[in-house]
Structure 1
């Protein structure tokens, strides 16, 4: 198998919130209309014009870059704007870029606290779409009444300008259809590395501002944007909700701006100390546990594609998907379901048990040499719209990770990582010789700007960290370690899914809302 797929921390499905109650206290210096003069809170020297900018809220239609965004942005009461920030904070007088913003304003009860700024992860997922999804569901709840719900597309992502651009839609389709990554021969390794090198070169060539933009895409710069946003929204302190990779943005912000934090709710945490290899191996183990849960659910079903014995599910699954390496399934639209797409579709379904029925259907179709359902799941993961257009997420995902983590270039370490991955996630073992090919980050034209470490958050209010026992993408222990590192409180959710807050679990939602509204932390050891 190739260097393990970077399934790390893809965006959560943000579902409807149950309207709940919680204690209420307010602390804000801004009014409902956001009318003010000058920046809010502390301003770093030389950045006054950015911190004091007035946001021009209006119609969200022009901000949509995909069909899904256009649908999400059509919700009632949504407003959008652009935030201007320096491309390089070391040269604030130089080039500027803009971030797309979306908000749903607080209700009219007169007790507005401020803004609840959220990010759904990725890295590279659209915070605007996440906010649009959440905003309607929290109407009438304490969150919707007390906070403006605000989402932002991080630099290089979605409605932000410029976007990271690496592959065209046709090139992305072709990349998915090819299974060259399973070829561990010297020729296969050379071909994979040539493709990785060309991908990196295309990102630098096609993205506006080129290497300068790529060098300033990482979380180090995103948290500086977040502080400019806090001020432009009129909030002296930040109230933040981060899912998945968005937890990294949260704890990095706390380290960079400890005096500017009001509350941090971090759901589906990354372990701040883990390097990329250990993170991938831990995630592989998480997906294997979710696969085992799926197999146990499937076995009693009359039509279970993997058979009635959960212990035989891995073997049955591999017998279904491995033939796709040499014989992909041709679909009605002319595309081919590759091994990569079949496993990607499976991974998408393992993020939440709400997709298990669909996964079983897809695996049964594969027995009949059909692949439409698995392809639909893979398209969901890759954010490919019905018109064949991809969101910028996948390009941004790679570009951000390549500057957020030290690159892995040691071929012995790559092979060892694959062996570890196969051991913990045998259902994803393709049966082919391991490949020592380096990925695109090994050829990235700019250096990384961050590395794993425990954040120094002295003086920051305690964060609330939510961790799910069988989270396939961000394993439970990562949340345990982050809560300890943040001096915060851990809330455990017993389930099999990736992230949980505002997805209909009353116990979790009550605790999270109480924390965000009035700072009340759940009792130590609370489990939902």
Structure 2
């Protein structure tokens, strides 16, 4: 089964200096935690990066025309070493955006939307009109290798990306498995040819959190205030682990549990998407016009009857590409990230029942970062490169086969009925550089009280992962009851947003056991 992006945390195109001698933040049992007032010392060999002054300018040229930022937004580039073990070597330039505080400024809040691989420049538009926007500069950034940051991960040309998406799926026969693994090797070879192994080896979480500490200092903040969505929670928890004394406050929404291995995480996610599909089917079935019928128990077989024919022939679209099987599944999964998309899914499935695939193709384009002019953002290429250095690889064929079988069982709406008990080793098994992180429980001293937000019906980062992350960090947990992937400042929950603002502004943790 293909990897599912775990971090489309914020819809595309939308997101302090401490003066007390000692900061006291409420602890898990109501006790105060003493936190060092001074951030960690800066290694002398990195001082030139920490001491740089950004040249803020217009954001024109930083973002796609369709994602233009407000005139008040400013952008800059911040230089970081590609390899922190070799700070005198090659450097990268990170694209950073900013919306200035409109009132009595506390500091900056750094925001990451997830992915991995999503551009974060437009996150500065989050929380507009709130006290957060009044008291903080809102700062977004494109992590190394992503978006407007340079160099950027580059694997496929637009025609190659279109061709890859249009390929019919390969069966899990010996021949099909060999073909899929050959295609993975060819993709990895293109990434090496166009990006280089040196940079590919240094695009992971290990490096990004060090970049974040440089950004903290360059922005003028002695300690970091951070809001991370989905994969951005992995960045936040890893930063807190490495730089606990540099943290002022963190909100982690749509959590990834750093203790989970990739196989367990994928199976938990499969169950999450099945739960979202079932919720959609029940909602859709209230209407006699539902393309899956009015009996939710029949929704999966009716869905499979719509998409299975695409294995052999694409559905017609006004776009000459047509809608193939993989794009249909991708388009459907795009709509399951939040119930706001459910009406669009009904339109797409209704069209498919009539032999047309325009809406689902547009949704797949959105997911894959394809623009109206046929070019692509580097979202997918960066996603692959980052996850392949972040996670351990599955190289055991027996494990890959069991994972495929269990995935089909956990998400029957995604089961094409062609499982054989065997499966190809996925892309990361053949990635040209080693992984740089390992799953582990976080246990760290010296942190202030952090906040984790987890949504009960979140398909991509299921609720329990947030519970587990909050437990590891000793963080306050806000439970949001809903069917969306992330909620802070984009889910319409005043209850959640108010609690987050109070925490970030006043360092006042939410009430114990808060449910919204």
Alpha carbons 1:40, 1:235 under 8 Å: kept: no
Q: Does 1:97 align with 2:92?
A: yes
Q: Does 1:188 align with 2:176?
A: yes
Q: Does 1:129 align with 2:122?
A: yes
How many pairs were matched up? 497
1:387-398 maps to which residues of 2 (within 5 A)?
A: 387-398=373-384
Residue in structure 1 matched with residue 25 of structure 2 by the alignment: none
Structure 1 distance, partners of 2:224, 2:181, is: 43
Structure 2 distance, partners of 1:234, 1:127, is: 20
Residue in structure 2 matched with residue 138 of structure 1 by the alignment: 128
Structure 2 distance, partners of 1:99, 1:27, is: 26
* Partner-residue secondary structure (3-state), 2:74: strand
* Partner-residue secondary structure (3-state), 1:61: coil
Sort the Cα spacing of 1:26 and 1:402 in 2 relative to 1 into closer, same or farther, 3 A: closer
Residue in structure 1 matched with residue 168 of structure 2 by the alignment: 179
Match of 1:13 among 11, 14, 17: 11
Residue in structure 2 matched with residue 20 of structure 1 by the alignment: none
- In structure 1, stretches of 5+ residues that fail to align are 18-24, 30-38
* Partner-residue secondary structure (3-state), 2:258: coil
Alpha carbons 2:39, 2:246 under 8 Å: kept: no
Alpha carbons 2:17, 2:223 under 8 Å: kept: no
Deviations 1:272-312 (A, max 9, x none): 11110110100000000000100010001131000010111
Residue in structure 1 matched with residue 18 of structure 2 by the alignment: 27
Which contiguous aligned blocks of 4+ residues in structure 1 show a shift greater than 4 angstroms?
A: 14-17
Structure 2 distance, partners of 1:197, 1:213, is: 18
Moved more, 52-61 or 333-342: 333-342
Structure 1 distance, partners of 2:159, 2:12, is: 29
Alpha carbons 1:285, 1:425 under 8 Å: kept: yes
Higher relative contact order (CA 8 A, sep 6+): 1
Structure 2 distance, partners of 1:75, 1:304, is: 40
Alpha carbons 2:390, 2:438 under 8 Å: kept: yes
Structure 2 distance, partners of 1:115, 1:311, is: 50
Residue 331 (structure 1) shift: 1.7
Alpha carbons 1:468, 1:492 under 8 Å: kept: yes
Residue in structure 2 matched with residue 80 of structure 1 by the alignment: 75
Residue 71 (structure 1) shift: 3.3
Alpha carbons 1:4, 1:280 under 8 Å: kept: no
Sort the Cα spacing of 1:138 and 1:42 in 2 relative to 1 into closer, same or farther, 3 A: farther
Deviations 1:409-438 (A, max 9, x none): 111111100111111100000111345211
Residue in structure 1 matched with residue 105 of structure 2 by the alignment: 112
Sort the Cα spacing of 1:335 and 1:28 in 2 relative to 1 into closer, same or farther, 3 A: farther
Residue in structure 1 matched with residue 320 of structure 2 by the alignment: 334
Residue in structure 2 matched with residue 462 of structure 1 by the alignment: 449
Moved more, 433-442 or 3-12: 3-12
Structure 2 distance, partners of 1:176, 1:505, is: 36
Structure 2 distance, partners of 1:404, 1:41, is: 25
* Partner-residue secondary structure (3-state), 1:46: helix
Residue in structure 2 matched with residue 22 of structure 1 by the alignment: none
Residue in structure 2 matched with residue 471 of structure 1 by the alignment: 458
Structure 2 distance, partners of 1:144, 1:285, is: 37
Match of 2:140 among 151, 163, 169: 151
Alpha carbons 2:254, 2:461 under 8 Å: kept: yes
Q: TM-score, normalised by structure 1?
A: 0.92
Residue 328 (structure 1) shift: 1.2
- In structure 2, stretches of 5+ residues that fail to align are 21-37
Deviations 1:341-379 (A, max 9, x none): 111111000001111111011101111110001111111
1:499-510 maps to which residues of 2 (within 5 A)?
A: 499-503=486-490, 504-510=492-498
Residue in structure 1 matched with residue 26 of structure 2 by the alignment: none
Residue in structure 2 matched with residue 297 of structure 1 by the alignment: 283
Sort the Cα spacing of 1:26 and 1:8 in 2 relative to 1 into closer, same or farther, 3 A: closer
Residue 16 (structure 1) shift: 7.4
Q: Does 1:162 align with 2:151?
A: yes
Alpha carbons 2:147, 2:378 under 8 Å: kept: yes
Alpha carbons 2:108, 2:225 under 8 Å: kept: yes
